[in-house]
Structure 1
Amino acid sequence: MTPRSLLLVHPVTWTIWLGTTLLTVSLTRNPLYLLLLLFGLTLVAETERPTGRATPLDPIFFAVIAVSFGALFNAATIRYGDTVLVALPASWWLIGGPITLEAVVFGMINGLVLSALVAGFGAFGTAMPISALISLVPRAFYPLAVVMSVAVTYVPLTIRLAGQVREAQQLRGHQVRVWRDGLPLLLPLLIGGLERALQLAEAMAARGFAADPPSNQVRMMLVGGLAALFAGLLLQFAWGQVVAASLTMLIGTGLILWALRESGQQAPRTRYRLYRRGIRDMIVLLGAGLTLIAVLAPWPGRASLAYTPYPMLQLPIFEPLLALALMGLLMPVAVRLGDRYLP
């Protein structure tokens, strides 16, 4: 059995899965499908969570807050809908007027969309270690990888350090009763978080992630590519020369890609852990492909993705085949459970 700390699925496969998830959530406003996606993505995050590590942000708890806030905010600012729940005095600034059930439901749907997006990112972040994320960065963007790693790890390291500082202060007899008692925790927390982030940046720089400045040739190609793109836009929108504009932008894109390739060659890469593609990647990609086809293909069931409670609230349409296709995003759960229980 593969240890929980190792990836069963290739980082590129996880990236494709995340893109499919975000596209699927963005294309639907049906609350039934959104609830299905929310619980499914939460299950993926819980399955990928290493044993003994707490979930940094519970998607269900976040959904309760987002749905409640979305309903209150939309009901207080939107005055459209036929089902009036209560009529506030019109003299009240901003919130005065009728509160409609349709506005409340529309706000709840927006909260569900946001919660499903957060759940998708949460599952991706739980499954992907920082080393796997950095491995996806092209060699031309190694300085960006250093900045990204520091930004991604600063908050988790600070949260972990907060618990350590609080335990150390409690051993010294310090108790937090009012907000002023938390000030002695703030300074070591900030210093410790920054120190660990700088240590990570130095370690990555020692491993070659601090790439040398690009050569003059690379800079000239980048400037020429950007100039060609700008000239192509002018030819298309200012003078209407579609063929010449397309050719110029194609040349500019080629110059930029060539410059990035040459810049990447100046930053050698040594990989200590190779992620290989296998049958597990095929299973996850097939599930994501099934979901992608279901939400993009022109078939009758796809119409149930769209939903609006205006002007009169109605029950959303539920298509069982489409709901089954959305479950293709749960293939990482099947892969993880298969690795855990099958020989």
Structure 2
Amino acid sequence: MSRTPPATRPPAGPRQLHPGAWWLWALEMGAAATRTTNPAILLLLAATAGYVVAARRGDAPWSRSYGAFLRLGLVVLGIRLVFAVLLGSPIPGTHVLFTLPEVPLPAWAQGVRIGGRVTVEGLLSALYDGLRLAVLLVCVGAANSLASPARLLRALPGALYEAGVAVVVAMTFAPNLVADVRRLRAARRLRGRSDRGVAAVLSVGLPVLEGALERSVALAAAMDTRGFGRTADVPRRIAAATAGLTLAGLLGVCLAAYGLLSAGGAGWAPPVLLLGLAAAFAGLLLGNRRSVRSRYRPDPWAVPEWLTAASGAAVAALTVVLAGRDPAAFAPTVVPPTVPVLPLGAVLVVLLGLVPAFAAPTPPRRAS
């Protein structure tokens, strides 16, 4: 008689990095960008994020949204410069590039002008501020390209699950938008039509927005059908304590983050951060009692995740320290205009953000 071989569990596919680690790393890189207006350091931060995305991005549709965030950053930078030219800048300057016709405004609009002198100092200030915001968008785009929204939702704690459903559905809109743009442009090329120009943009704009919105709404409906966000009955006092602790903890963390990123919060921000984290952690623990969902093969948090999160934290913390010791290097003056320098210490600190490109596991590829 032949024996039937025992059933074996199918081997799991290649492991992916925890999405929370990617978001922590990206937000910490963005926090480092808020501490400097030096264009050399900001460009180095953007290049570091771009290299990590190129090295560890998968081939899922949502992984292709990084280029859209890059273009969005350039658009934001251009808008900031246009506003500085048309509406002027509060930075006084003596190096006049050109003068625009100035529109006379009433007395109640003092301090606001349209047109007038355009100075080198004002343009440099707008360029530095716009570049900082563009690098923040690049860091957020890196997180969107590296972390799966569905896996991020699965990793959320029970206390944040209802809000997390809405956030993840909103986050899927941008990747779906990029995927629809690629699909419709390819369809136009196959039909022999041009995919560039204003006419092409207008012809695909409405279908792209409609398709991305429909896919996000379909995701929300599918999640609701499968019972996502359902909670168990708990006593009212526990629910109130959960909401109060979570809200107070998150407010404390936000306030402490603002203090750490500002110049005068070094004394009170760390204690507030610890209290906020403790309150939020207690609220999340109580909130988990309301969760009735189960997890199938939860994403592990192992050495690669610790290295990724720690590298971003090191970049943010060391940037804060170096900016306090050498403010002139991290915030170059524009009055008078000076050539930005790139300190060696800042280069070494920013390059710590490359750790995920080597520590994170290689994402799985779909068979072609």
TM-score (norm 2): 0.68
CA change 1:21–1:196 in 2 (3 A) is: same
Alignment of 1:236-255 (within 5 A): none
Q: CA deviation at 1:60?
A: 4.7
Q: CA deviation at 1:29?
A: 0.9
* 1:265 alignment counterpart: 289
Q: Distance in 1 between matches of 2:302 and 2:33?
A: 27
CA change 1:299–1:115 in 2 (3 A) is: closer
* 1:56 alignment counterpart: 65
Q: Distance in 1 between matches of 2:221 and 2:83?
A: 45
* 2:179 alignment counterpart: 160
2:355 is matched with which residue: 309, 331, 336? Answer: 331
* 2:39 alignment counterpart: 31
Residue 140 (str. 1) matches residue 148 (str. 2): no
Instruction: Give identity over the alignment, percent.
Output: 23
Alignment of 1:103-118 (within 5 A): 103-118=122-137
Q: CA deviation at 1:142?
A: 2.3
Q: CA deviation at 1:99?
A: 1.0
Which stretches in structure 1 are left out of the alignment for 5+ residues? 230-249
CA change 1:9–1:265 in 2 (3 A) is: same
Q: Distance in 1 between matches of 2:308 and 2:204?
A: 48
Q: RMSD of the TM alignment (CA)?
A: 4.3
* 1:151 alignment counterpart: 170
Q: CA deviation at 1:320?
A: 0.5
Residue 41 (str. 1) matches residue 49 (str. 2): yes
1:17 is matched with which residue: 25, 41, 53? Answer: 25
Q: CA deviation at 1:312?
A: 1.0
CA change 1:319–1:212 in 2 (3 A) is: same
CA change 1:138–1:334 in 2 (3 A) is: same
Q: Identify which range, 37-46 or 98-107, moves more after superposition.
A: 37-46
* 2:115 alignment counterpart: 96
Q: Identify which range, 79-88 or 21-30, moves more after superposition.
A: 79-88
* Contact 1:287–1:329, Cα closer than 8 Å, also in 2: yes
* 1:295 alignment counterpart: 319
Letter in 2 for 1:88: L
Q: Distance in 2 between matches of 1:52 and 1:275?
A: 18
Letter in 2 for 1:72: V
* Contact 1:283–1:331, Cα closer than 8 Å, also in 2: yes
Letter in 1 for 2:320: L
Query: Secondary structure in 1 aligned to 2:346?
Result: helix
CA change 1:167–1:102 in 2 (3 A) is: closer
**Aligned residue pairs: how many?**
313
Q: Identify which range, 161-170 or 125-134, moves more after superposition.
A: 161-170
Q: CA deviation at 1:138?
A: 1.9
Residue 82 (str. 1) matches residue 87 (str. 2): no
* Contact 1:162–1:189, Cα closer than 8 Å, also in 2: no
* 2:307 alignment counterpart: 283
CA change 1:299–1:202 in 2 (3 A) is: closer
Q: Distance in 1 between matches of 2:323 and 2:179?
A: 49
Q: CA deviation at 1:308?
A: 4.2
Q: Distance in 1 between matches of 2:318 and 2:290?
A: 43
Q: CA deviation at 1:327?
A: 1.0
Q: Identify which range, 42-51 or 313-322, moves more after superposition.
A: 42-51
